[in-house]
Amino acid sequence: MNRRHFLCSMAAGAGAALAQTRRPNFLVIVTDDHGIGDVGCFGASDARTPNFDRLAASGIRFTQWYANAPICSASRAAIMTGKYPDRAGVQGALPSQPTWDVQGLRAGETTLPASLRALGYRTAAFGKWHLGSIAHSRPMAQGFDEFFGWYSGWLDAYSHRYYQLGGPPGKIFHDLWRNETEVFEEPTYMTELLGREARAFLERQSRQQPFFLYLAFGAPHYSLMAPKKYLDRFPASMERDRRTHLAMVAAIDDVVGSLLDDLDRLGIERETVVFYQSDNGATREERASSYGKPATGGSNGKFRGYKQGLFDGGMHVPAILRAPGFAPSGVVENRPMMSMDLLPTFLAMSDAHAQPPRGIDGQSILPVLRGDRQPHEFMFWSFNQSRAVRQGDWKLIINPPQFPNESVEKGVWLSNLEADPSERKNLANSEPERVRKLMERIRAWEQYVEIPAAALIE
């Protein structure tokens, strides 16, 4: 047993003792369009993220954490349900409509908050929902006791209104709610507003009841807006969109720092599991640019591709876990894991005897961290007519994405991620048997999740 596995085993034993005396609290932080190249502890030298870095120093920094989709709604559905999003009935990005009738999560879905509430947790969702606005898809119908946020894909950071960018017919509407009541908070900057609500939630919790707080920021997704006090942390000579993007990240980082301080001040730091991830990688969408050109503000580091694509840049995201009593501190975890693993992991932390809901696809990562079990043998993704599978270091993409100045061969793309993490070299022609076997896996998975087989685009 190496030192790392020894530490994990010791942590697991401590975790069992903690779980017997008090269920841990959970604080889950999700950012939006936040690339792995936008966080200091993941190697971004131009970012200012001392609190994300502080969280990583006191927990586990995952270098191969994957969102289940390269786009928001589907990615968040996996966090909520522990399933591949296709099986949860959520594909791609749901529309934003002022009619409040968008179908998202299904009625009766077994979600993470509902599972924890059944174990006695107080549950709250603050921020971006984007998992349906029809009554049965809303947060309080899916296991949350409290909701403060919006249903749409994004909001103006000051007016809290959604507006359609681009062609007709165009629409604009206000979308901010407390539980089921519309509220007006303009012109408060949304990131700071969410911080206010999250801190107030922590203040009013009783030590007698554990909580689950899901804090889903709308930043650094467009609208590309940041107050001057955050912009001033970066040189005026920095490229405009990069400067604004990093200023938005800095605002989030300040909120994270205030919450970490509050956990310590309230005496519940050792009783609270904190997890952070982005919903997908940074984007190239023109509407995220100040210049009407493909966006350049966010960075996916060394990983190729962006949001809405199945190269790793689309869903290989920053992620950090601090779990006192369950996992060691200051560790870097290099094995691949997925956001659908959160539901069974949190249930295992809250009750060592709890059984995960039937039919989920995620697995608890606690045995993986102890070295008792390997991560997923196969990991799958879908987006429009693209499909991808990863087995070990090998990854196959059907219909690889095409981005501005990133034209690639059509058909299939095979990479060895250990040798080529940036997926620059297509090995499909030199590995025909591997391609065949991975294609078979994708076809079987498409049947399993009940989506049409993607036709190869030549």
Q: Note the residue count of the chain.
A: 458
Angle subtended at Cα 331 by Cα 327 and Cα 334, rounded to the nearest 5 degrees: 105
- Which is catalytic among the residues 8, 34, 41, 72? 72
Q: Where would I find the H helices in 266-361?
A: 342-350
CA distance 225 to 383: 28
CA distance 376 to 131: 26
Contact 370, 5 (CB under 8 A): yes
How many CB atoms sit inside 10 A of residue 107's CB?
A: 11
Decide if 72 is catalytic: yes
Decide if 130 is catalytic: yes
Burial class (CB in 10 A: 0-12, 13-18, 19+), 359: exposed
Nearest to 322 by CA among 111, 22, 29: 29
Beta pairing class for 316-322 and 60-66: antiparallel
- Which is catalytic among the residues 130, 160, 245, 376? 130
User: Which residues, in sequence order, are bridge partners of residue 37?
Assistant: none
Nearest to 37 by CA among 301, 223, 218: 301
Q: Which residues are catalytic?
A: 72, 130
